[in-house]
Structure formats: C-alpha cells, structure tokens
Amino acid sequence: MLVFAALLLSAQQQPRVAPDSRILEARYELAYPWWDSNRGTPLPLSKTFGDPSGQLRLLNTSGAVETSGHPFFTPLGSNGRACITCHQPTSAMSLSLDLIRQRWADTQGKDPLFAAIDGSNCPNLPQEKEESHSLLLERGLFRIALRWPPFAASGQPIKPDFRIEVVRDPTGCNRNSDSISVYRRPRVAANLKYIARPSGVTLMADGREPSLRSQAITAALTHEQASVPPTPAQLKQIEDFERQLFMAQHSDNLGGLLGEPGGPPLLGADNLASGIAGVGAVPASGNLPASFDPWRNLSTANLAIRQRAFRESVLRGVDLFASREFGLPDRRRGTCAACHRPGINRSRDIGTTNLPTAKESPELPLFRITCDASAPPHPQLGRTFLTQDPGRALITGKCADAGSILMQQFRGLIARAPYFANGSAVDLTELVDFYDRRFGIGLTEKEKQDLVNFLSIL
C-alpha cells in the first residue's frame, strides 16, 4: 500500500515526464507478481515482496543478480520452464497455490508451468482440460516419478524389504511397474547454505538428492525436460546463486518490522545471512524463548495497541512451540521444538501421508505396503498399512521408513501455502489443527492462533 501511494505521489509530482523504467518495473510487479523465465531484469541485492500478512524479503549477499542468461532463470530444456518457474520470489522461492491459480487464469493454462510431464496429473491425459491438472490447481502438487525398485548412488539396485501395491490410481500414472508416481509441493530454493550440507540427508521430501549439484541436474532433466545435463559452469552458477540467497518474512501488517537491529535474532533476512538465525524455528545457537527477549523486554510505550497485542501473541506462540509437551510418535514426550531444532535427523513420519492419520484424499494415489516377515516393521503401523506417499522408503527400500518425510525449512511460510509435502494443510491454521488432532495436544483456539502468528513471521 505504502509503495503504491509513493508511486502515485511521484506520478502526480512529475506529470509530464515519461516514467522511468524503475517505476514501470515496480508498477508491473504490483500488478503482476509472476516472474517469467524470459523476464531478463536483474534481481536486486535486496527486494521485498508483498505476501498475505506483510512483506517477504529476498537478500542476495553477493550483490544484484543478472538474470538474463542465468541458468536458474533461463530455460535449460525443451518445455520453456526454468528453475524460477516453480521457485518464485513472491512465493518465498516455492510456489503458492494462489499464484498457480492466478497463472492458470491469466494464461488459460498455457504457461510452461502446466507442462504435461509433471504439471498435470499424468502426461497422457488431455492437457487442455482443467481437470487433468487438478492436483496442481487444487493442492499445488507436481508429479514426482521415482524408479522402483530404487538404486543406490553407486548404481546398484536396492532390494526393498517390503512390497508395494497400487490400491487406488486416480491419475492413471501408477500403471507401470518400474516407477512410482507421487505428488509433492515444491520446496524452498533459498537459505540453502544452511540446508544443503556435505553429509547427511538434506534435500527433497524423501532426502534423495545428495547435493545441490545433483538436485539441479535432476531438475533440469525432469521438470525442464532437458536432453543433456547443465554444463559444469551452469551448475556452479545455480549453486552459487542458491547459496548466497537468503529469504525471510520482513514485516507484518500487525506486528510491524521484524528484522530490526537488536530484535529477536530469529527474524529477518539479515540475521539469516549472518548465520545467527537458522532455518528452523529455533535459532542456530540456543534457546528459542530467550531469543525473543528483545520483544519481551521492549518498553511497550511506543507500540500501537494492535502491534503490541500481536507481538504478545507471537511470544505466547514461541513459548508453546518450545515448551508445550505432547506424546511424540516414538511414544516419548516432547515439544514442537523437539523435532524442529538445528542438528537433528530431519526425516520423520508424523502421519501426514500414511493412513489412518493422513487427510483422506481420493484424488491422490493410494498404496499398500507389506513389510517382509524378516524386516523390522514400521514403528507405529506394523507390517501392513496404506500410504499416499511412502516418502523416504522409496529411496532406502526400508519398510520402517514408509511415510517418513524430510522436514522443510520454516522461512517465508505465510507466502507459500499450502503446507506439508502433499499440500494437505491449506493454511497455517489447518497445519496447527493437524498437529493438535494427531497428537491430542489439546490446544485452545487462542493457543492455535498464537502458534499461527509465530509461524507467520518467520
């Protein structure tokens, strides 16, 4: 709003002068948040974008990025898509359902985003029909086809310790026996310096990509339908870009500026870039509640009433996140922060894709998993159960990993609904509701709102 007012003002002040290109660009963005793969304008050192509860900020610590010809912003394959197509700045470098729908409406479904390969429920469906893209248009999901049985990084086939049967195949894409199609949300392509680590399972919902380099090769060959992998120079450019790009919520319509100097270290892109924040909900070093002391001790005199009320709600959310205990899947007691803190094995089964806890979704495929008698059973579900997405088990071939999904980072959440790898929570309220039901936490409506407010400012 403020920006818009400033534009109007400057237009009134200089009625006869042709608007300079910066203003045109700014107007274009206000009217139209889509970043087209052929756009060619630089991505500035720092840039804010409006989102549902305030503003999000992108920070390029190595300076403005020339996007013309840059392999993240330019199609590498045959279908007109680039990385930026599915990792949009206004969607926190992921892709919100709202933006997908707007793009469908504005291009009558002709944008490369909707390419048959994975932007439709199955490539052999009639592509001009909206219903052939229903999983993308209703849940924000892309098709991910994985080889089955899996192969180890060495190229050796892995012998799974379970059988997988297709119980329901509403998209018609699970008829081949040599691959399995699951449907997933794009993950955030920013703050990756803290996510892509040389060792450990760090990328994709199932942890299948060992590095940003391997991830970019696969993305070019699959999503972009490239016939050859990107060159080493292109891969370096993509990775360099991803490692210096930081993104976090910048301001909240009620809570005000978030990343001010001296404020909570968890907030804002500058703190992220400097390494004190961390990409989860717990700061890289230490104690979550204490890290919000700058807000607790703030002399409240100069805060507007609604701003103070919002910050107080966030503080209650912080304390709930850090200290409200409930029964975890492994039967121990713990908190939200028990899983969402730095330095933890991030792949867990919280029941988002396995029945009976997953949201019932007739539009998604359903698989029956039967573990071999000799295999360790699934910790909660035993030897036979149903799942919409076996997650990590599709990579490891281990029955005990079925439904295990790698936690996403927490940045820019408000700009990239829906949530969870299968898009089953339409907004943050539904996400918190899922946890409340799943783990019988017993949150009040007010406590749910406090958690939502906390999550929305990261």
Query: Judged by CB under 6 A, does residue 238 bind ligand HEC?
Result: yes
Among 57, 70, 87, 103, contact with ligand HEC (rule: CB under 6 A): 87
User: Which distant-in-sequence residues (6+ apart) come within 8 Å of 260 by Cβ?
Assistant: 268
Q: Which is nearer to ligand HEC, 147 or 306 (CB)?
A: 147
Query: Judged by CB under 6 A, does residue 279 bind ligand HEC?
Result: no
In the chain, the largest separation of any two C-alpha atoms, in whole Å, equals 81
Q: Which is nearer to ligand HEC, 225 or 251 (CB)?
A: 225
Read off the amino acid at residue 134. Answer: S
- Sign of the Cα torsion 354, 355, 356, 361 reads positive
Among 60, 67, 85, 354, contact with ligand HEC (rule: CB under 6 A): 85
Among 164, 435, 450, 457, contact with ligand HEC (rule: CB under 6 A): 435
Q: Which is nearer to ligand HEC, 137 or 336 (CB)?
A: 336
Q: How far apart are CA 108 and CA 126, in angstroms?
A: 14
Query: Judged by CB under 6 A, does residue 322 bind ligand HEC?
Result: no
Query: Judged by CB under 6 A, does residue 223 bind ligand HEC?
Result: yes
Q: What angle do CA 371, 374, 379 make, to 5 degrees?
A: 55
Among 271, 451, 453, 457, contact with ligand HEC (rule: CB under 6 A): 451
Q: How far apart are CA 187 and CA 81, in angstroms?
A: 17
Among 100, 116, 180, 204, contact with ligand HEC (rule: CB under 6 A): 204
Neighbours of 117 (CB within 10 A): 18
Q: How far apart are CA 79 and CA 122, in angstroms?
A: 16
Among 67, 237, 408, 453, contact with ligand HEC (rule: CB under 6 A): 408
CB distance 158 to 141 below 8 Å: no
Query: Judged by CB under 6 A, does residue 246 bind ligand HEC?
Result: no
Q: Which of 98, 100, 97 is nearest to 85 (CA)?
A: 100
Q: How far apart are CA 454 and CA 59, in angstroms?
A: 22
Q: Which is nearer to ligand HEC, 195 or 371 (CB)?
A: 195
Among 99, 180, 284, 413, contact with ligand HEC (rule: CB under 6 A): 413
Query: Judged by CB under 6 A, does residue 394 bind ligand HEC?
Result: no
Query: Judged by CB under 6 A, does residue 184 bind ligand HEC?
Result: yes
Give the burial class of 294: count Cβ atoms within 10 A of its Cβ; 0-12 exposed, 13-18 middle, 19 or more buried: middle
Query: Judged by CB under 6 A, does residue 342 bind ligand HEC?
Result: no
Among 86, 145, 273, 322, contact with ligand HEC (rule: CB under 6 A): 86
Among 394, 400, 421, 457, contact with ligand HEC (rule: CB under 6 A): 421
User: Which distant-in-sequence residues (6+ apart) come within 8 Å of 135 by Cβ?
Assistant: 121, 141, 143, 171, 183, 363, 364
Query: Judged by CB under 6 A, does residue 402 bind ligand HEC?
Result: no
Per-residue interface string for the shown chain with ligand HEC, residues 133-172, x marking contact by CB under 6 A: ---------x-x----------------------------
Listed ranges 25-33, 179-187, 302-310, 362-370: which one lies at the site for ligand HEC (CB under 6 A): 179-187
Minimum separation from the CB atom of position 143 to ligand HEC (A):
9
Query: Judged by CB under 6 A, does residue 224 bind ligand HEC?
Result: yes
Among 116, 180, 219, 402, contact with ligand HEC (rule: CB under 6 A): 219
CB distance 51 to 258 below 8 Å: no
Q: How far apart are CA 3 and CA 31, in angstroms?
A: 12
Query: Judged by CB under 6 A, does residue 455 bind ligand HEC?
Result: yes
Q: How far apart are CA 288 and CA 261, in angstroms?
A: 18
CB distance 149 to 397 below 8 Å: yes
Q: Which two tokens stand for residue 217?
A: 């090769």
By CB under 6 A, the count of residues binding ligand HEC is 52
Query: 356: cis peptide before it, omega within 30°?
Result: yes
Minimum separation from the CB atom of position 346 to ligand HEC (A):
7
Query: Judged by CB under 6 A, does residue 187 bind ligand HEC?
Result: yes
- Sign of the Cα torsion 450, 248, 347, 365 reads positive
Interacting residues with ligand HEC (CB under 6 A): 72, 81, 83, 85-87, 118, 142, 144, 184, 186-189, 192, 195, 203-206, 212, 215-216, 219-220, 223-224, 238, 321, 328-329, 334, 336, 338-340, 348, 350, 352, 405, 407-408, 410, 413, 419-421, 431-432, 435, 451, 455
